[in-house]
Amino acid sequence: MTTPTLTAAVADQSSNPDISAITALCKGAGDPLRMQILKVLQQNAYGVLELCQVFDIRQSAMSHHLKILANAGLVATRREGTTIFYRRNPRHSNYELQALQQALFRSVDEASLDDALAEHLAQINNDRASASVAFFNRNASRFEENQDLIASWADYGDSVEGFLDSSIKAMGTAIEVGPGYGQFLGKLSSRFDRVIALDSAREMLDQCELRATQQGLSNIQFTLGDTTAAATQGLTADCLSLNMVLHHNPTPADIIADCAGLLNEHGVLLITDLCAHDQEWVKDTCGDLWLGFEPEELTRWAGIAGLVEGNSLYLTQRNGFRIQLREFTL
């Protein structure tokens, strides 16, 4: 998969980086299957068993390839409880090899993923999404109780509303993805002419609509679906809110990219989510798919989607969780 860009990056090594590091990186890049693994990991993290399912190979063989990629500085790991997730390493630890690594990633990104692999990957993502939707449909009546175990709206809602006041100038349309019981909808309703509450779980959306009706909110449109469906419907917004949504979503980077596509010019994406943590119990109890995110992850995904980072605020909860409030503009 050598390209002029990749060749130029090799030539641009102005100093003399360690030959063994160059050799390891080239070894990592020297196998078609490993290049396909890097393509699969382009925007998301997967466990070994998931990758075995995508590529239909034994766990021992997959572990071997992942070890080579890790030794090459091309993938990084993150342990969540008993599961280790693999993702592309955003920045090589050897500064002198970063240009070569990034050129390799650009070449991989331009390549196509085998159709069969794409189907397997889509199935895994769909399985993740279906499990999340099923959890919220089963636990719609327990939403606030589950939320209180980590962080309730009362703990951070004022900060989110303050973020909105300082970030938004346009008053046209706002979209809230995964509005929960609609705690934020009252504020959005008072600031925007039109508000769209978007949720993939029917039971949650029904609960949200009931409570919004009880509050007398009349400018809310309740839409069943996800951000991909919203794009298909031609929805756009001046403000888009992801409030404690990403850690429930199988492909958070894709959601951010979808949101960027839904924003009008100079539109603002507000993200409230958990910082990375190690409390594995939230997966079973609260339906979390991810144990929060490093702030750098959200920044990187937003940058890839063409968004510019704005204000940030970090809040520490009584139980040790940390919340990040992030602003990104188009």
pLDDT tens profile 96-140: 888 888 888 888 888 888 899 999 999 998 888 888 888 888 888
- 76 inside domain: yes
- The pLDDT, as a whole number, for residue 16 is 59
Three-state DSSP at 64 gives helix
Q: CA of 205: how far to CAs of 125, 179, 291, in Å?
A: 22, 8, 24
- 284 inside domain: yes
> Which of 113, 129, 163 lies at the terminal end of a domain, its last residue?
113
Q: In CATH, what number is assigned to the domain containing residue 269?
A: 3.40.50.150
Q: Are residues 310 and 229 in the same domain?
A: yes
- 269 inside domain: yes
- 123 inside domain: no
Q: Are residues 173 and 269 in the same domain?
A: yes
Q: Which residues of the chain have pLDDT under 70?
A: 1-17
Q: Are residues 48 and 194 in the same domain?
A: no
Q: Are residues 106 and 146 in the same domain?
A: no
Tens digits of residue pLDDT in 130-176:
888 888 888 888 888 888 888 889 889 999 999 888 877 778 999 99
Q: Are residues 155 and 65 in the same domain?
A: no
- The pLDDT, as a whole number, for residue 292 is 93
Q: Tally the domains of the chain.
A: 2
The CA distance from 180 to 313, in Å, is: 22
Is pTM, for the whole model, over 0.75?
A: yes
Three-state DSSP at 214 gives helix
Three-state DSSP at 270 gives strand
- The pLDDT, as a whole number, for residue 194 is 96
Q: Are residues 173 and 321 in the same domain?
A: yes
- 177 inside domain: yes
- Kindly provide the b/e burial profile for residues 284-298, where b requires at least 16 CB atoms within 10 angstroms of the residue's own CB: eebbbbbbbbebebb
Q: In CATH, what number is assigned to the domain containing residue 106?
A: 1.10.10.10
With CA atoms as reference, report the closest residue to 50 among 252, 251, 247: 251
Measured at the alpha carbon of residue 32, what is the angle toward residues 30 and 38, in degrees to the nearest 5? 90
- 189 inside domain: yes
- 130 inside domain: no
Q: Are residues 82 and 149 in the same domain?
A: no
Q: Residue 21 is part of which domain span? A: 4-113
Q: Are residues 191 and 269 in the same domain?
A: yes
- 87 inside domain: yes
CA 59 to chain centre: 26
Q: Are residues 109 and 42 in the same domain?
A: yes
